[in-house]
Amino acid sequence: MEKLTSWLEKYILPIASKMGAQKHLVALRDAFIGTLPATMAGSVAVMLNAILRDLPPDFIEGYDGTTIPVISQIITINGYVWNGTLAIAGLIFVFSWGYNLARAYKVNELAGGIVSTAASIAGIQFSFSGAVEGLSLDQASMDVLNEAGWEATTDSLTANGWGWLPLSNLDGNFFFTAMIIGFVSTMIYIKLMEADITIKLPDSVPPAVSKAFAAIIPATVALYAIAIFYWVFSLIVPDLTFLDWLQETVALPLLGLSQGFGAVAITTLFVQLFWFFGIHGPNVLAPILEGVFGIAQLENVNLFQNGGMKAVIDEGYLWVRGSFDAYSWFGGSGGTLVLVLAILLFSKREDYLTVAKLSVGPGIFNINEPMLFGMPVVLNAMLFVPFLIAPVISVAIGYFATYFGLVNPVSVQVAWVTPPFLMSFLATGADWRAPIVTLVAMIVSFAIWTPFVIAANKMEATSLEEASEDL
């Protein structure tokens, strides 16, 4: 065990530390965090509609919430909230991404967000065109359609329009484009700002005006650079926008790879490995957890909003960001709430018992820093194996329960501080089977943790502290 820990400390810890401090990854993590007010508000709306509109028909025959006074109005209001949050989650993210990148380099953050947003939206298809043959239209119908600007004949209809921004280009599908285009455009802006290629105004001009004028040249150059790229891309790939091409060639295959159990298990393992060295695993792996699994979750949430759980099962993703919270990270990363229970039931060590008692309250709300740093679990060789293995096993239970249809996929975004059983119940669209799966995962994790807790009874607290110091 000591050799393994030393090897990890020598080769893995430096890499993890560098990743945790890398400014672009920190900015990306903060960009995802910055979208939380909107995504959580939208998730509340989806969750309420699930309770008021989607869940009752499973228990009440003939129930239709859209026809019931008050409930119908609440459903409509929730729809408006969804329109302004999850429906345009990618648009919100792209501003947050540019803002946080600019802040990392200590230049005008607002201009950074604007540049990132403008550059990314510039590549969206604003027009549409479609034709339908084999129709049978009368003269009155043709007159109406032709007056609307479409081309209608007795047997065909050609629809044309401009000035449209499809929601499918602004929701979770927008994240990958935003990460690339937002990054490149904002970095061009940042480098020009750092080179001081700006418009300088007299000191008598208000600071807000000076900052805005200083950003004009860098922002213009950045936007023109991206516009030229879009133009060249359209010559090479005339039938697809860059967003559509990226979605087909990169995003969808990457999301597909993320759905394999191997990818899920490896992600879980590395989160735990980073945490063992005291580095916030979910933050270090935010580009994967949020950039891949988080996008899959937004897709599930939107499918659930528009088509209910059937749409999620038919078209959605099996494992998403919230699945980790629902089936593995009960009490926090590592499933440490069951460690608290194991200590309270089987530990005879006063130091463990004291920390465990203090950690019960925070653990219920998935806050486990008191356990990680108070016992500590971090760099505690005695607890290394269960800390890595238990979450992977619990993830496997949740994954295969979802895979075999024993429980609905996670399709509602729930605040991470929601207690475990309520978390999985709400996250799966109020599926009563989900808390049972969580319970099974907790029981198995408890069985993994318990032998190590009992073994720790044979070690004096002082000797364990000495062992930790030797690490």
334: left (phi over 0), alpha (psi -120 to 50) or beta: left
What per-residue confidence (pLDDT) applies to 19? 61
Task: Indicate the residue among 162, 181, 216 that finishes a domain.
Answer: 162
What is the number of structural domains in the chain?
A: 3
**274 in a structural domain:** yes
> Are residue 353 and residue 422 in the same domain, yes or no?
yes
* Residue 53 CA to its chain's centroid (Å): 25
**282 in a structural domain:** yes
**17 in a structural domain:** no
**Burial class of residue 361 (count of CB atoms within 10 Å of its CB; 0-12, 13-18, 19+):** exposed
> Are residue 343 and residue 217 in the same domain, yes or no?
no
Q: Which of 364, 446, 362 is nearest to 397 (CA)?
A: 446
In one letter, which amino acid is 132? V
CA angle 55, 60, 63 (to 5 degrees): 80
> Are residue 132 and residue 278 in the same domain, yes or no?
no
> Are residue 408 and residue 270 in the same domain, yes or no?
yes
> Are residue 339 and residue 227 in the same domain, yes or no?
no
In this structure, what token pair is assigned to residue 192?
A: 């020009």
Specify the 3-state DSSP secondary structure of 199. coil
Containing structural domain, residue 132: 127-162
**152 in a structural domain:** yes
What per-residue confidence (pLDDT) applies to 16? 56
Specify the 3-state DSSP secondary structure of 43. helix
CA distance readout (Å), 336 to 1, 234, 443: 21, 52, 12
* Residue 69 CA to its chain's centroid (Å): 35
**388 in a structural domain:** yes
Tell me 55's DSSP state: S
Instruction: For residue 370, say if its preceding peptide bond is cis, omega within 30 degrees of 0.
Output: no
What per-residue confidence (pLDDT) applies to 152? 79
In one letter, which amino acid is 115? V
In this structure, what token pair is assigned to residue 215?
A: 């950003």
What is the C-alpha to C-alpha distance for residues 282 and 271, in angstroms, rounded to an integer? 6
**339 in a structural domain:** yes
> Are residue 280 and residue 188 in the same domain, yes or no?
no
4: left (phi over 0), alpha (psi -120 to 50) or beta: alpha
> Are residue 388 and residue 283 in the same domain, yes or no?
yes
> Are residue 272 and residue 407 in the same domain, yes or no?
yes
**239 in a structural domain:** yes
Task: Indicate the residue among 216, 236, 255 that finishes a domain.
Answer: 255
> Are residue 322 and residue 344 in the same domain, yes or no?
yes
Residues 6+ apart with CB under 8 A from 367: 332, 417
Residues 6+ apart with CB under 8 A from 332: 363, 366, 367, 368, 369, 371, 372
> Are residue 119 and residue 224 in the same domain, yes or no?
yes
pTM of structure: 0.67
The CB-side HSE value for 128 (13 A sphere, CA atoms) comes to 9
What per-residue confidence (pLDDT) applies to 20? 60
> Are residue 242 and residue 301 in the same domain, yes or no?
no
In the block, which residue shows the tokens 């460690």? Answer: 339
Specify the 3-state DSSP secondary structure of 158. strand
> Are residue 370 and residue 240 in the same domain, yes or no?
no
Render 385-415 in DSSP notation, one character per residue. HHHHHHHHHHHHHHHHHHHTTSSPPP-S---
In the block, which residue shows the tokens 């073994």? Answer: 455
What is the C-alpha to C-alpha distance for residues 276 and 288, in angstroms, rounded to an integer? 19
What per-residue confidence (pLDDT) applies to 409? 94
CA angle 84, 85, 87 (to 5 degrees): 85
**198 in a structural domain:** yes
* Residue 144 CA to its chain's centroid (Å): 45
What is the C-alpha to C-alpha distance for residues 418 and 5, in angstroms, rounded to an integer? 33
Specify the 3-state DSSP secondary structure of 160. strand
pLDDT tens string, the chain, 471 residues long: the values are: 566 556 655 665 566 566 666 788 778 878 877 887 887 788 778 778 877 887 677 668 888 888 899 999 999 998 899 889 878 888 898 999 999 999 999 999 999 999 999 999 998 887 776 777 777 778 887 787 777 667 778 787 777 777 777 777 777 667 778 888 999 999 999 999 999 999 888 888 888 888 889 999 999 999 999 999 999 999 999 888 888 888 777 766 767 777 889 889 998 988 888 787 766 678 667 778 887 888 889 888 888 888 888 888 988 899 999 999 999 999 888 889 999 999 999 988 888 888 888 888 888 888 887 788 777 787 677 788 889 999 999 999 999 999 999 999 999 888 777 889 999 998 998 899 999 999 999 999 999 998 888 887 776 544 444 444 544
Give the chain's end-to-end CA distance (angstroms, integer): 11
